[in-house]
Structure formats: C-alpha cells, structure tokens
Chains A and B, each alone.
Chain A
C-alpha cells in the first residue's frame, strides 16, 4: 500500500466512525422520544459536539491530503465525495440533536398514538435503515445498494407529504393533543431532511465509485444511470 492509500484508508475509517456516531445519535433521539427519556435526550445533545469534532477532523485530513499528495482519479473523487458526505452527516447529526431538544423542552410525555397515526414512527425506522444501508454502500463501494436509496427515500417523502392532513386530523380528533401534534409535524419535517441528506450521500458514493454525476437528475433516470 502506498502512503496515499494508507491516508485515504484512514479517512475512510474516520468517516465510518462518524457515521456510526450519527446513526447512534438518531437512534437515541428516537428512543428518547419513544420513552420520553430526557436524560438520553441530553446525552444526544452533549454528543453532538463529538459529531462536530469529527466533521472538523475529516475536513482537515482531506485538506492535508489535497495539499500533500495532489490526488487524482478515484482518489480525488473519493476525497471530493468525502467532503460532501462529511457535511451531510454533520447535518443529520444536527437533526438528531434538534429532535432531542424537542424532548428536553416538551412539558409532558407525547401522545404515542399520534406517532403511529401520522406514520412518523415508520418514517423514523426507515430513515435509520436507509442511513445504515448507505453506510454499508460506502464501506463496500456497493453502488447498487446506493441506488436503492433513491426509491426508499420516496417512502419518507410520501409520509412527509401526507403529514399536514394527518396531523390536522389528530388535532381535530383531540384539541388537547395540539402541542404533541405540532412536535410530531416538526419531527416529520426533520426526518424528511434526513432522507434528502442520505440521498445526497448515495449520489456521492456513485460519483466516487463510478465517476457518474447523478445530482439534479430525474429520480427515475438516476436509478438507471
């Protein structure tokens, strides 16, 4: 292995470590929400600093490799992709942090029925799954798996699109649940962004492995490109 390969391997390991942390943040904010566990939510908020530290470290490592090794071809594409993936992961970390803060600021436990009625719980599960599968696609350079993310993101989009009528319905049924319903709507919006960020990451994986630019392509074209 050349020294450059070792450096790139180290960056990849670092990204995977960050990815695990972000996944765990998202998982914990979900558990905190389900069990109204404020301590767990506080832990998520505290650990957000570690996500930020990862982002800075990976940015710096990439910058050093650009400056010292002048990478080209797949190495160059890898580093360009990592810079963007890093940014997307950090934003997903922010989303987990944002959800955890809702739990800290909520006065009482949430009405769990709203979680299921709005499809939010399914959405949360799927968001975590696609983030995890995208990590696997990155780790194994599996572009078929990366492409599957585009379709699966549509599940999140559909739940998001149906959010307003579903949440309104919950409010109409029980005006006392208005606060909870609005929190749930906010969480759905955040999870939709997790889907978008993950989709962006999947595009970067395909760019890195196959040198194809899928950004701003029609979703159907994207799957077949």
Chain B
C-alpha cells in the first residue's frame, strides 16, 4: 500500500480575491498524526477545509491545484464521498442537541439515507464509542441526549460520529481549545490510539500539543507552507528562521 495517503500539489485557496493558501505541496503519510500550526490568519484552517472540500461551501471561496486522496483528485470525487472518507471534528464539540448519544454516533448514516439493521447499528455504535474510549462511560446511558455529557465527552462523541463512517483520514480543527486540561489530555491520548487505524491532521494553536501528539509538523505563515518535517526535528532544530521564531515565541 502506498504510504502517502493525502498529497497536495500546487494547492491554492482563495476567498474572492484574497489568496489565502499559496501553492502548498505536502505529502501526508498514512497512520501518522500531522500537526498544522501557524499564527492566526496563516491559512492553516483554510488548507484543512480544502482537504475534504469544505472550503468550497463558503460563498466566494475557490481553490486551484490538487488534493489527492490515495492518488485520486478529490475534486473529481463526489463531495459526500470525500467527506465520508475524510471526516472532520471541529473546535467546539457539536453533538446534535436533539439526538441521543446512540443516534449521534450513527447520525452520518441517517443523514446520508443509509439504512442498516439494528444489530449492525448497535455494533457500529459500540465499536465507535470504544475506539474513542467512551463506551464504558456511556454504555448505560445511550438514550440520553449527547449534550448531557461533559465537554470532553461531547468532543469524543463527535470523534466517534466521525469514526463511525469508517473514514481513512480525520481532520481536527483546534479540537481541544474549548476543553479543560484533563479532557484535553484524554483527547490527546486518544490521538495516539486513533492513528493505528486512521491518519490524523490536526490544526492547533497549542505548540506543546503539536509537539506531544504529532509525528510530523507543518508550519504555515502568510498562506505559505514554510516548513514540514518530523516533529522532533521541528521542535529541536527547525531549519527556517521563521519557524524558530514562531515556536520560541519571538515572532513579531
């Protein structure tokens, strides 16, 4: 199996005239955790949203270049299929407020009109919640609303919802910025487990988190991919002065 799962080739994103992501070329290896960091407005979230074609949902947004998933251009795939293969988890936990924990996990199937026998649904729910280390905490309250859970549990529920669709890649946009340190630590531990089965791309402002959880780190600045290397290398001896200035807090 080809080791590169996601590849961007001369990828550019725009909001109207505003050139937000500039000619990004990056290869993301399978079953790795990739941290994407950079100052606010550097284009990291826009790049992330380009990977599963969420960027194009914004009015006036456009993109050039290619994002390849297993060598195939995502622009030539059906967007729903792309988002099934590349799940996404957002900054704030966003379980469907009117759905139970159980229904939240299988929401992706329901929304896409995929009908499954009850036994299979049960299996998916248990499997997904186990994958995010939530099963033991909620197995006796599956019918309660998702919003009944704590912030950290809600975020893991959202990850379970993404995992339930059996994606290959999971995108995370600041997944722990709304969580307390204990919940953050639980989610970070989860990343180490999840990478056994998925490839994780995480946008984070938290450099220590990037250092703790990722195998490789990409540093974006003013829309450009400045440096992309093994995380250990980036945090001990970055090659570009801009990266060094950013991670040591000397950025002006």
Contact = CB atoms under 8 A, between A and B. Distances in A.
Interface of A: 2, 4-5, 70-77, 211
Given A73-B235, A73-B244, A75-B248, 18 more contacts: A2-B249, A2-B250, A5-B250, A71-B248, A72-B207, A72-B211, A72-B235, A72-B236, A72-B247, A72-B248, A73-B236, A73-B237, A73-B247, A73-B248, A74-B244, A74-B248, A76-B235, A77-B237
Contacts, number: 30
Nearest to A77: B236
Interface string B210-252: 0100000000000000000000000111100000100111100
B248 A211 contact: no
A78 to B, nearest CB: 10
Interface of B: 207-208, 211, 235-238, 244, 247-250
A2 to B, nearest CB: 5
Query: Which of A4, A5, A70, A72 neighbours the largest number of chain B CB atoms within 10 Å of its CB?
Result: A72
Contacts of B244: 73-74
Nearest to B244: A73
Taking chain B's interface residues, is the majority helix, strand, or loop, or is none over half, making it mixed?
helix
B249 A4 contact: yes
A211 B250 contact: no
A73 B229 CA distance: 14
Contacts of A74: 244, 248
A211 B234 CA distance: 12
A39 B250 CA distance: 50
B180 to A, nearest CB: 19
A5 B211 CA distance: 20
A74 to B, nearest CB: 6
B184 to A, nearest CB: 15
Nearest to A76: B236
7 contacts: A2-B250, A72-B211, A72-B235, A72-B236, A73-B236, A73-B248, A211-B237
A2 B249 CA distance: 7
A85 to B, nearest CB: 18
B208 A73 contact: no
- Closest 6 interchain pairs by CB? A211-B237, A72-B235, A2-B249, A72-B247, A73-B244, A70-B208
A2 B245 CA distance: 11
Contact of B236 (A2, A5, A211): A211
Contacts of A4: 248-249
A57 B113 CA distance: 67
Contacts of B248: 4, 71-75
B213 to A, nearest CB: 14
A41 to B, nearest CB: 44
Contacts of A73: 235-238, 244, 247-248
A72 B248 CA distance: 6
Nearest to A70: B208
B127 to A, nearest CB: 36
A34 to B, nearest CB: 46
